[in-house]
């Protein structure tokens, strides 16, 4: 929002004079190039979508390229009936909601705590936390550690380790440090303790940054699938993203699955008959949908978030 | 008025979905081709609840009559829902609240019925029964929930009941007691079908209900045990399953039913906790001096625990699942769940709601601590010391016995401090037996081998030493507590608690060091480890026992502590895993018995031909693909500069929104796009290339190893370009506008403005990002390469991270864990070095650090 406004001002200032021929040529090229880039970014979504709603037979023959034909929604209906999809959806939603709340709540409170100068050995603790951003023990030690702690095949592995995320803590800390200290002081004078100051003074003020963190976290949680792959060896708590990955890479199991879930009457109709391709594409579309739905509303927060993030590299 | 409409809409939806298909019925072909031809067939909830005979052809398959669902729950639930919808229209005080309660009850019934349907339809034994639940089956319960929400929202604006806070509080307490009492109600019903047993009498003998309390204490029905006790099912238990064969294609399923053992051998921790909290909440609710927040918090915690066990969703692991075995019974078709667990949950919810209303109704919002201020610190120290005292008496040492020279643990026995104090070592420790009841150590052994007698001697010695330390720790803590209570010098309790801490450490060291390697290993248990921090904290608080309040710096530190613990557990503890790199690590062997190989893996990276080739190859890939991204890292900047030249605001916004979108989808999804767009003969890219004549026949774009670096670069640019530009756009917005004005006055055209003002303005940002990406050159992530990798392109796509994953976690039975760790260590060291060099360079060049 902010950005657009700034630019508008700038536009009005700079481009009032009449355009020269060079400018016009430049504009034409510029607009065309950006239109093409935008198209390249959007087209795959559209292409996948029309392929899921068109006749599966035509899709198989490669006849659906630019617009849908023989539209039907049987693919979506059938995908919902695949064994395990509903569970995976539930797990995905649960991890997104719980993981986001947990991480954001943790980052907010921790970010507040590290601004308190009077804490015992504050700098030491703060550095201990921040330094973890720059090194990692590596894949195997990480895996073995979670294994030893009993997090394998455990839903909570999606949520609990996210409590402290140094980057978010830095963002919140920077944000709180930018707030006027007088508010907090007056609350303290009124007899409020740290938790109370945090809950009733700080929290309402830092909602913009928390909203940004929420979105980043939620998108990250929704999109991740490698953790499921490594940490769920016995196949419990699969997420939608992981199912999608599995369908892409295990075409055979998918084909078997397609056969078993097939209706007798659906079998007869080639147009709505499920193929492994159609299932894979429809699951992909189902996975994208939540992001496409929330994306337009939260787009401005991304901009804000990355601008705050830019303060600290 | 609108809200009233919504309530009726929910009701209408709930009723309407009754007649939509809820479950699909399949029949196993073993039941005969004729019957099988009747199916699959859909059945609605209404059929299942009200007229099973009409809905399911029970005549042809008598076994279908076994589906005994509590249809009354559905009907009563709907009736209550209707009442709940109608009540708000009576303009009397309290009608809204009554409506809320009624709808709650309806929700409980409907949800339980849905759970029943879902459980039964998942039944394995009767494969000919209901299968494949349709979405419509869930809708009545969801509609009821919607109605509840609408009512609640509506009520928020309505008039209050004018009940004072104490009344709310007492009501909450009563409800908490009721919720606790709900544990006595039957949670599950076991109903074994007649057809499974030899005679109906056998079936009847097996049938029964069991209360939630029984499940809580681990007394879940184990069909095998039950059957043994009743003397039925003789043929099944001996393995003759012929009688059951028509019911399942898989005899293992049937055998499985009868051999289910309770997995919750210990008490169900969730429910025990919930019971304790509910009773505590009720107790606190009736003590008027206690702050109103206490019963509320206890109730809320209990609610979480009850909810977790009832839904079985938030369980930490299977072992804690609410009556695991019984749930399995339900799944197998020999039992069903009742409405009572849901009722318990609702009552519990009601109790918490009353607590909340009580807090809201009170005028004084602040928390009132019932403990007088001057003794708070002392109370905290006493509480912690008391907890540590209890821990001393609980199982503190656990012994694992193995046969000499073997690694397999044959028996694990734990010993409580209580047993150790009376110096009476359990028989299981003196003469350990394996799970078949055979002694592990032989009575007579050859020369130099371990016999039962010497094993018993050794264990006796260890346990006696353990007993002495337990006594010592106990006495020290008791003394410390006494000192604290006496208002004596604060140094005494501190010293005593620390001494007790040392004793606890000593007992741990004694058991773990004295246990001979040939007999197995010994360690402390969770209780011992928990008691250590408790003692430290007791000593810590004792230091402030004479103060009114903890100094602020420590208060803040205590708040910080859980976070530090998390950082330690998830970021620093893994560093311990670096030690694997110096061993030949194998799964399932304790660290002390792993083979130490020193720097073998590190030297092998360079000396072993095979390993070296692989490392060089993946490093080439890593640097190649990171390098491509690095070399083109100016693209987002140029993108931003040119985007900034676009004057049409709408268009600009549009471009920005859509080019950022790819950043928010996962790599798995990107791969879906790739699969669709670049499919060999159906994808639009192939079609296009064929049409323009660039290729003559379809090319397998994804399953080839050609130009894989370029392709990967293309995808990461597609995904990251717009996103990367945002930072630069933000930087452009921060450039002083007067610079442009001045340039224009000086006659600079658009190019010159871009070249001499915008670009230099962006260079610092570019520099920082460049430095960061240089230091991240080895960490180019692996998700992207993982989704795109296949057997054709594996050689050129495998980056370092992916390689480590492929040779370790992804390959079964691998022995390369240590090697993978060694690579990881080197990688981390190189990355950190790079980062510091980049930071150093940045400081030198720009006088500003990037970290």
Q: What share of chain A is helix, strand, coil (3-state, %, to 5)?
A: 75, 0, 25
The nearest CA of chain B is from the CA of A60 a distance in Å of 7
User: Is residue B561 in a domain?
Assistant: no
User: Is residue B685 in a domain?
Assistant: yes
- The DSSP-derived string for B101-167 is HHHHHHHHHHHHHHHHHHHHHT-SS-TTSEEEE-GGGGHHHHHHHHHHHHHHHHHHHS------HHH
Name the one residue in this structure whose structure tokens are 């004792």.
B542
The residue of chain A with its CA nearest to that of B555 is: A119
| Long-range contacts of residues A176-181, Cβ cutoff 8 Å, at least 24 apart | A176/A111, A176/A112, A176/A115, A176/A202, A176/A206, A177/A115, A179/A205, A179/A206
Q: Which helix (H) or strand (E) holds A26?
A: helix A21-53
If asked whether residues B188 and B149 sit together in one domain, one would say: no
User: Is residue B285 in a domain?
Assistant: yes
If asked whether residues B358 and B389 sit together in one domain, one would say: no
The nearest CA of chain A is from the CA of B747 a distance in Å of 12
The pLDDT-based confidence of B676 (bands split at 50, 70, 90) is confident
The mean pLDDT of chain A is 82
| Per-residue CA distances from B816 to B373, B601, B612, B750, B805 (Å) | 59, 9, 14, 59, 10
User: Is residue B332 in a domain?
Assistant: yes
Give B-chain residues touching A136 at CB under 8 angstroms.
574, 828
Nearest to B652 by CA among A7, A266, A293: A7
The mean pLDDT of chain B is 79
Q: Which residues pair with B336 in a beta bridge?
A: B189
Of the candidates A4, A144, A150, which has its C-beta nearest B649's C-beta?
Answer: A4
Give A-chain residues touching B750 at CB under 8 angstroms.
23, 26
Q: How far apart are CA B202 and CA B199, in angstroms?
A: 5
Q: For the segment B292-302, what is each residue's pLDDT rounded down to a tens digit?
A: 778 888 899 99
Q: How far apart are CA A287 and CA B132, in angstroms?
A: 22
Is B576 at the interface with chain A, CB within 8 A?
A: yes
Range 416-435 of B in CB contact (< 8 A) with A: none
Give B-chain residues touching A224 at CB under 8 angstroms.
666
Give B-chain residues touching A239 at CB under 8 angstroms.
none
The pLDDT-based confidence of B716 (bands split at 50, 70, 90) is very high
DSSP B439: B
Give B-chain residues touching A40 at CB under 8 angstroms.
718
Of the candidates A14, A81, A299, which has its C-beta nearest B132's C-beta?
Answer: A81
Of the candidates B665, B726, B783, which has its C-beta nearest A302's C-beta?
Answer: B726
Report how far Cα B795 is from the mean position of its chain's Cα atoms.
Answer: 36
If asked whether residues B380 and B356 sit together in one domain, one would say: no
Nearest to B38 by CA among B51, B56, B21, B53: B56
Q: What share of chain B is helix, strand, coil (3-state, %, to 5)?
A: 65, 5, 25
If asked whether residues B516 and B379 sit together in one domain, one would say: yes
- Is the Cβ pair B642, A33 closer than 8 Å? yes
- SS3 (DSSP) at B642: helix
- Is the Cβ pair B573, A145 closer than 8 Å? yes
- What are the residue ranges of CATH 1.10.3720.10 in chain A? 85-231
- Report the length, in residues, of chain B: 851
If asked whether residues B290 and B382 sit together in one domain, one would say: no
If asked whether residues B208 and B339 sit together in one domain, one would say: yes
If asked whether residues B595 and B655 sit together in one domain, one would say: no
- The DSSP-derived string for B6-70 is HHHHHHHHHHHHTTSEEEEE---GGG-HHHHHT-SEEEEHHHHHH-HHHHTTTTT-GGGGG----
Whether the Cβ atoms of residue A46 and residue A65 lie closer than 8 Å to each other: no
Nearest to B351 by CA among B396, B315, B306, B417: B306
**For residue B641, with 0-12 CB atoms within 10 Å meaning exposed, 13-18 middle and 19 or more buried, which class applies?**
buried
- SS3 (DSSP) at B190: strand
Joined together, the tokens standing for residue B63 give 């076994």
Q: How far apart are CA B789 and CA B625, in angstroms?
A: 14
Range 620-639 of B in CB contact (< 8 A) with A: 639
- Is the Cβ pair A7, B664 closer than 8 Å? no
Predicted local confidence at residue A45, as pLDDT: 92
DSSP A18: P
Q: Give me the mean pLDDT over the B731-758 stretch.
A: 86
Of the candidates B559, B753, B824, which has its C-beta nearest A194's C-beta?
Answer: B559
Q: What is the rounded (10 degree) CA torsion for B146, B150, B156, B160?
A: -100
The nearest CA of chain A is from the CA of B289 a distance in Å of 22
Range 18-47 of B in CB contact (< 8 A) with A: 40
- Report the length, in residues, of chain A: 313
Q: How far apart are CA A216 and CA B387, in angstroms?
A: 41
| Per-residue CA distances from B618 to A42, B621, B776 (Å) | 33, 5, 16
Q: Give me the mean pLDDT over the B246-270 stretch.
A: 52
If asked whether residues B180 and B268 sit together in one domain, one would say: yes
Percent of chain A at pLDDT above 70?
83
If asked whether residues B178 and B262 sit together in one domain, one would say: yes
Give every CB contact of residue A32 below 8 A, 6+ residues apart in sequence.
none
Q: How far apart are CA B180 and CA B276, in angstroms?
A: 9
- Is the Cβ pair B809, A143 closer than 8 Å? yes
Give every CB contact of residue B479 below 8 A, 6+ residues apart in sequence.
B496
Is B557 at the interface with chain A, CB within 8 A?
A: yes
Most confident of A33-37, B350-354, B603-607: A33-37
The nearest CA of chain A is from the CA of B836 a distance in Å of 10
Of the candidates A33, A140, A163, which has its C-beta nearest B580's C-beta?
Answer: A140
Joined together, the tokens standing for residue B263 give 């997995």
Q: Mutation target for B interface from A89, A140, A148: give the one with most B CBs within 10 A.
A: A140
Nearest to A98 by CA among A157, A167, A148, A152: A157
Q: How far apart are CA B386 and CA B375, in angstroms?
A: 16
Q: What are phi and psi of A99, to 5 degrees?
A: -60, -40
From B721, B740, B775, give the residue that closes a domain. B775
Nearest to B723 by CA among B665, B659, B767: B659
Instruction: Give the class (CATH, top level) of A85-231.
Output: mainly alpha
CATH number, position B677: 1.10.3720.10
Maximum C-alpha span of chain B = 106
The residue of chain A with its CA nearest to that of B787 is: A245
If asked whether residues B190 and B261 sit together in one domain, one would say: yes
Is B571 at the interface with chain A, CB within 8 A?
A: yes
Q: Which residues pair with B186 in a beta bridge?
A: B211
Give A-chain residues touching B20 at CB under 8 angstroms.
none
The nearest CA of chain A is from the CA of B341 a distance in Å of 22
Q: For the segment B43-69, what is each residue's pLDDT rounded down to a tens digit?
A: 777 777 776 555 555 665 555 555 567
Whether the Cβ atoms of residue B639 and residue B721 lie closer than 8 Å to each other: yes
Q: For the segment A209-250, what is each residue's pLDDT rounded down to a tens digit?
A: 888 888 889 989 999 999 998 898 887 788 999 988 888 887
Give B-chain residues touching A145 at CB under 8 angstroms.
569-570, 573-574, 576-577
Q: Which domain holds residue B306?
A: 165-368
Whether the Cβ atoms of residue B669 and residue A47 lie closer than 8 Å to each other: no
Predicted local confidence at residue B708, as pLDDT: 87
| Per-residue CA distances from B160 to B4, B94, B102, B139 (Å) | 19, 8, 18, 32
Is B681 at the interface with chain A, CB within 8 A?
A: yes
Predicted local confidence at residue A279, as pLDDT: 83
- Is the Cβ pair A248, B573 closer than 8 Å? no
The nearest CA of chain A is from the CA of B370 a distance in Å of 17
Q: For the segment B435-474, what is each residue's pLDDT rounded down to a tens digit?
A: 677 787 777 666 556 777 888 888 888 989 999 999 999 9
- Is the Cβ pair A284, B727 closer than 8 Å? no
Give every CB contact of residue A259 below 8 A, 6+ residues apart in sequence.
none
The pLDDT-based confidence of B192 (bands split at 50, 70, 90) is low
B793 pLDDT higher than 80: yes
- Is the Cβ pair A299, B657 closer than 8 Å? yes
The residue of chain B with its CA nearest to that of A303 is: B726
The nearest CA of chain A is from the CA of B599 a distance in Å of 17
The pLDDT-based confidence of B367 (bands split at 50, 70, 90) is low
**For residue A207, with 0-12 CB atoms within 10 Å meaning exposed, 13-18 middle and 19 or more buried, which class applies?**
exposed
Is B828 at the interface with chain A, CB within 8 A?
A: yes
Joined together, the tokens standing for residue B704 give 């080839």
From B504, B534, B550, give the residue that closes a domain. B550
If asked whether residues B490 and B509 sit together in one domain, one would say: yes
Q: How many CB atoms neighbour CB A33 within 10 A?
A: 13
Report how far Cα A141 is from the mean position of its chain's Cα atoms.
Answer: 26
Q: How many CA atoms lie within 13 A of B61 on its CB side?
A: 31
Alpha-helical runs (H) found in A178-239: 181-189, 194-197, 203-205, 207-223, 226-231
From B368, B396, B426, give the residue that closes a domain. B368
- Is the Cβ pair B567, A47 closer than 8 Å? no
- Is the Cβ pair B554, A106 closer than 8 Å? no
B287 pLDDT higher than 60: yes
Q: Interhelix angle for B609-631 vs B708-733, to 10°?
A: 40
Of the candidates B557, B567, B681, which has its C-beta nearest A129's C-beta?
Answer: B567
If asked whether residues B171 and B153 sit together in one domain, one would say: no
A266 pLDDT higher than 50: no
Q: How far apart are CA B199 and CA B191, in angstroms?
A: 14
**CA A83, A87, A92: angle at the middle one, nearest 5?**
130
Give B-chain residues touching A140 at CB under 8 angstroms.
577, 580, 804, 808-809, 817, 820-821, 824
The nearest CA of chain B is from the CA of A134 a distance in Å of 7
Is B552 at the interface with chain A, CB within 8 A?
A: yes
Is B124 at the interface with chain A, CB within 8 A?
A: no
Predicted local confidence at residue B234, as pLDDT: 53
Q: How many domains does the structure of chain B reveal?
A: 5
Joined together, the tokens standing for residue A13 give 């200032």
pTM of the model: 0.74
- Name the more confident of B311 and B409: B409
Rg, chain B, Cα only: 35
Q: For the segment B267-280, what is each residue's pLDDT rounded down to a tens digit?
A: 466 778 888 899 99
Predicted local confidence at residue B249, as pLDDT: 47
Q: What are phi and psi of A137, to 5 degrees?
A: -70, -15
């Amino acid at each position: 929002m902010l950005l657009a406004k700034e630019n508008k001002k700038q536009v009005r200032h700079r481009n009032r004079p009449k355009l020269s021929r060079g400018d016009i040529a430049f504009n034409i090229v510029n607009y065309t190039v950006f239109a093409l880039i935008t198209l390249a970014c959007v087209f795959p979504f559209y292409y996948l979508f029309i392929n899921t709603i068109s006749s599966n037979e035509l899709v198989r023959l490669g006849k659906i390229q630019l617009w849908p034909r023989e539209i039907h929604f049987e693919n979506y209906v059938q995908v919902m009936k695949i064994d395990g999809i509903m569970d995976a959806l539930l797990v995905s939603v649960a991890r997104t909601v719980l993981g986001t709340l947990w991480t954001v709540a943790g980052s907010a409170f921790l970010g507040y705590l590290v601004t308190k100068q009077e804490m015992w050995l504050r700098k030491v603790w703060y550095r201990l936390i921040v330094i973890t951003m720059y090194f990692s023990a590596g894949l195997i030690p990480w895996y073995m550690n979670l294994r030893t702690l009993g997090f394998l095949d455990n839903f909570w592995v999606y949520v609990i380790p996210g409590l402290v995320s140094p980057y978010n803590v830095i963002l919140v800390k920077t944000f709180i440090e930018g707030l006027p200290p007088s508010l907090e002081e007056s609350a303290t004078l009124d007899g409020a303790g740290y938790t109370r100051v945090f809950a009733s003074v700080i929290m309402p003020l830092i909602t913009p940054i928390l909203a940004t963190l929420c979105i980043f976290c939620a998108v990250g949680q929704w999109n991740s699938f490698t953790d499921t792959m490594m940490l769920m060896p016995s196949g419990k708590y699969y997420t939608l993203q992981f199912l999608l990955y599995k369908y892409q890479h295990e075409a055979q199991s998918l084909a078997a699955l397609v056969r078993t879930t097939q209706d007798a009457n659906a079998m007869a109709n080639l147009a709505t008959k499920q193929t492994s391709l159609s299932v894979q594409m429809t699951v992909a579309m189902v996975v994208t949908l939540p992001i496409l739905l929330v994306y337009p509303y939260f787009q401005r927060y991304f901009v804000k978030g990355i601008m705050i993030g830019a303060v600290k590299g | 008025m609108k809200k009233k409409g919504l309530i009726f809409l929910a009701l209408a939806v709930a009723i309407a979905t009754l007649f939509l298909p809820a479950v699909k019925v399949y029949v196993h072909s073993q039941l005969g081709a004729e019957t099988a031809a009747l199916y699959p067939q859909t059945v609605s909830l209404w059929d299942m609840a009200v007229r099973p005979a009409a809905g399911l052809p029970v005549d042809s398959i008598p076994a279908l009559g076994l589906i005994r669902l509590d249809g009354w729950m559905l009907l009563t639930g709907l009736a209550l829902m209707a009442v709940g919808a109608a009540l708000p229209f009576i303009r009397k005080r309290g009608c809204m609240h009554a409506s809320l309660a009624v709808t709650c009850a309806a929700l409980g019934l409907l949800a339980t019925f849905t759970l029943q349907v879902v459980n039964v339809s998942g039944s394995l034994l009767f494969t000919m029964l209901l299968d494949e639940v349709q979405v419509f089956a869930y809708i009545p319960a969801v509609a009821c929930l919607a109605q509840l929400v609408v009512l609640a929202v509506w009520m928020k604006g309505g008039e209050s009941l004018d009940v004072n806070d104490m009344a709310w509080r007492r009501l909450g307490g009563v409800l908490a007691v009721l919720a606790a009492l709900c544990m006595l109600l039957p949670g599950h019903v076991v109903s074994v079908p007649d057809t499974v047993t030899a005679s109906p009498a056998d079936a009847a003998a097996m049938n029964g209900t069991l209360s939630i309390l029984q499940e809580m204490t681990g007394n879940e029905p184990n069909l095998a045990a039950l059957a043994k006790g009743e003397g039925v099912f003789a043929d099944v238990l001996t393995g003759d399953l012929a009688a059951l064969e028509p019911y399942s294609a898989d005899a293992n399923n049937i055998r499985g039913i009868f051999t289910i053992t309770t997995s919750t051998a210990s008490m169900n921790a969730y429910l025990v906790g919930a019971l304790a909290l509910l009773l505590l909440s009720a107790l606190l609710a009736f003590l008027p001096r206690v702050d109103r927040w206490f019963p509320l918090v206890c109730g809320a915690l209990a609610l979480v625990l009850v909810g977790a066990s009832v839904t079985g969703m938030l369980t930490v692991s299977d072992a804690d699942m609410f009556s695991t075995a019984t749930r399995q019974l339900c799944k197998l078709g020999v039992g069903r769940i009742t409405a009572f667990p849901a009722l318990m949950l609702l009552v519990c919810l009601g109790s918490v709601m009353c607590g909340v209303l009580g807090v809201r109704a009170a005028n004084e919002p602040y928390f009132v601590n019932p403990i007088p201020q001057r003794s708070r610190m002392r109370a905290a120290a006493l509480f912690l010391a008391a907890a540590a005292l209890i821990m001393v008496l609980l199982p503190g040492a656990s012994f694992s016995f193995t046969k000499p020279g073997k690694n397999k643990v044959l028996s694990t026995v734990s010993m409580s401090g209580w047993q150790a104090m009376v110096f009476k070592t359990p028989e299981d420790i003196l003469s350990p037996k394996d799970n078949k009841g055979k002694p592990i150590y032989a009575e007579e052994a050859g020369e130099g081998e371990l016999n039962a007698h010497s094993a018993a001697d050794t264990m006796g010695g260890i346990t006696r030493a353990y007993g002495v330390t337990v006594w010592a720790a106990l006495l020290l803590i008791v003394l410390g507590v006494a000192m604290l209570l006496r208002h004596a010098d604060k140094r005494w309790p501190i010293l005593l608690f620390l001494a007790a801490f040392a004793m606890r450490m000593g007992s741990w060291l004694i058991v773990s060091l004295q246990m001979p390697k040939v007999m197995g290993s010994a360690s402390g248990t969770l209780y011992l480890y928990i008691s250590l921090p408790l003692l430290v904290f007791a000593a810590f608080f004792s230091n402030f026992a004479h103060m009114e309040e903890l100094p602020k710096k420590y208060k803040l530190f205590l708040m910080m502590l859980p976070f530090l613990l998390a950082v330690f557990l998830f970021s620093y503890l893994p560093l311990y895993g670096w030690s694997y790199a110096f061993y030949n690590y194998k799964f399932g062997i304790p660290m002390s018995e792993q083979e130490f190989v020193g720097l073998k893996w590190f030297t092998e990276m360079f000396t072993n031909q095979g390993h070296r080739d692989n490392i060089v190859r993946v490093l080439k890939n890593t640097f190649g693909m990171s390098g491509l991204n690095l070399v083109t890292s100016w693209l987002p900047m140029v993108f931003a500069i040119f985007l900034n030249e676009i004057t049409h605001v709408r268009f600009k916004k549009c471009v920005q929104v859509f080019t950022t979108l790819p950043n928010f989808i996962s790599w798995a999804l990107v791969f879906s796009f790739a699969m669709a767009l670049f499919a060999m003969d159906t994808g639009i890219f192939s079609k296009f290339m064929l049409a323009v004549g660039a290729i003559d026949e379809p090319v397998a774009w994804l399953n080839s190893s050609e130009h894989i670096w370029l392709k990967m670069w293309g995808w990461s640019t597609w995904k990251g370009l717009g996103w990367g530009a945002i930072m630069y756009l933000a930087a452009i917005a921060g450039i002083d506008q007067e610079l442009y004005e001045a340039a224009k006055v000086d006659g600079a055209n658009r190019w010159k403005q871009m070249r001499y003002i915008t670009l230099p303005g962006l260079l610092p940002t570019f520099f920082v990002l460049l430095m960061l990406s240089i230091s991240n050159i080895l960490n180019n992530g692996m998700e992207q390469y993982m989704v795109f990798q296949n057997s054709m392109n594996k050689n050129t796509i495998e980056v370092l991270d992916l390689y480590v994953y492929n040779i370790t976690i992804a390959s079964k039975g691998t022995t390369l864990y240590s090697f993978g760790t060694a690579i990881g260590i080197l990688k981390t060291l190189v990355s950190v070095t790079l980062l510091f060099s980049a930071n150093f360079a940045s400081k030198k060049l720009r006088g500003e650090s990037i970290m």
